[in-house]
Amino acid sequence: MSEVQDTTNNTATDTETVMPGRSKRPDPASTPSTPLRGVRLNTPKDIESHHLFQPLLYWVATAGLSPADICSPIRGILRNQKNAEVFMEEVTGVDVQEQRVLMGDCSVPYDYLVLATGAHDNYFGHPEWEHYAPGLKSIVDATSLRRKILLAFEAAEIETDPEKVKELLTFVLVGAGPTGVEMAGAISELAHKALASDFRHIDTRMTRIILIEAAPRILAAFPESLARKTQKRLVTMGVEVRTGTPVTDLDEHGVVVDGERIKAATIIWGAGVSASPAGKWLGAEVDRAGRVIVSSDLSVPGHPNVFVIGDTAVAMQNGKALPGVAQVAIQGGRYVAAVITDRIEGKELNKPFHYRDKGNLATVGRSYAIVDIGKIRLTGFFAWLLWLAVHIYFLVGFRNRLVAIFQWAWEYWTYSRGARLITFERCKDFFAD
């Protein structure tokens, strides 16, 4: 405890403690040039040393990219930013009275605190479902799902019971937002193309992929016309799409939907999220999803030096809650950086945060995507090229961008998946001897 306190107190400059989530691209423009001291901390279940580009996690889970292709070490990213420190430690709370971030027996002081601790999967009152239907929020999630998906095909190859083979080759995706849609398309291409010639006793083209959505249609954040075209595309790829049918039960053998039991060895959850416990740490008002209800400047009411952004916060604009998408978090981060910088320089930024909607993109397998940017609505190959360009741009590091371009080009022409590795990890406390 004393080491952390000594390290953080030996400075005459202001201290900004930042606890970020994942999936947001660091923006140099959002980093103040004033003598601001920053500390990056980890959150519960997020003790990691890397920045993660979350939109491409599904590509790792389906063996299209390796984990290192969408990650960059935090210390490497901040190498040249000498006023930033990184502590690989788990945050357990915040003392807003003493202005300290708590890490077990240690703590870090702050003058300004920015919480961007992200969200986790929401199982709507059924936490036991998580064991059978994992989500996709981290690299560990992605590699675990990759192992589960590939092992299903391996188990089917040596299974002699036809009914068991059908169960092993059935994949259920719960939730038809961008994650569910993109995963469904990727699994379809993996089974119907990439693995089609690799097995001798099963026909992977017989794989059954079921996408389940409780709402009346898929992709609720997109215009209905684009959602209809996407659903049509999924059907042509062999994906069964079921809307207006919530999952009422699930276990290791499958799901129950609309009274029907569907046997499936692999279930993937993408039906909703809940915020991190940041609201409890602060004792702040939260909504039903646990998100902190913030003021117009993204600060916590009653604590003007504490800011909450991203999936951890809910901000209002024109009487409506802003969506939990990356652009809200990115723009919020830039805004908060400007607010803190102005305050340090003795100025006040009275302009409230205003989100500018830059549109949505989603891809459905090889060479097909949908784009909704203002009045521009595109589908098909050119939309896919735009999706590629945007995602390559937001990847951190030249190496990752180059690898992603090469991998996508190679897989476009060959349908192969170069990261088809089945690995098993031994769990160990990373601080243990």
Residues known to be catalytic: 182
CA dist., res. 240 & res. 180, Å (int)? 12
Asked if residues 70 and 53 have their Cβ atoms less than 8 Å apart, the reply is: yes
CA dist., res. 92 & res. 105, Å (int)? 10
For the chain, the straight-line distance linking the first and the last C-alpha, in angstroms and rounded, comes to 20
**Which of 309, 307, 337, 332 shows the shortest CA–CA distance to 29?**
337
Q: CA–CA distance from 282 to each of 93, 233, 244, 306, 333 (Å)? A: 8, 45, 37, 9, 19
Which residues neighbour 31 within 8 Å (Cβ) at sequence distance 6 or greater? 81, 337
CA dist., res. 432 & res. 430, Å (int)? 6
Q: Which helix (H) or strand (E) holds 146?
A: helix 139-158
Which residues neighbour 189 within 8 Å (Cβ) at sequence distance 6 or greater? 62, 237, 365, 366, 415
Write out the two tokens for 294: 């913030």
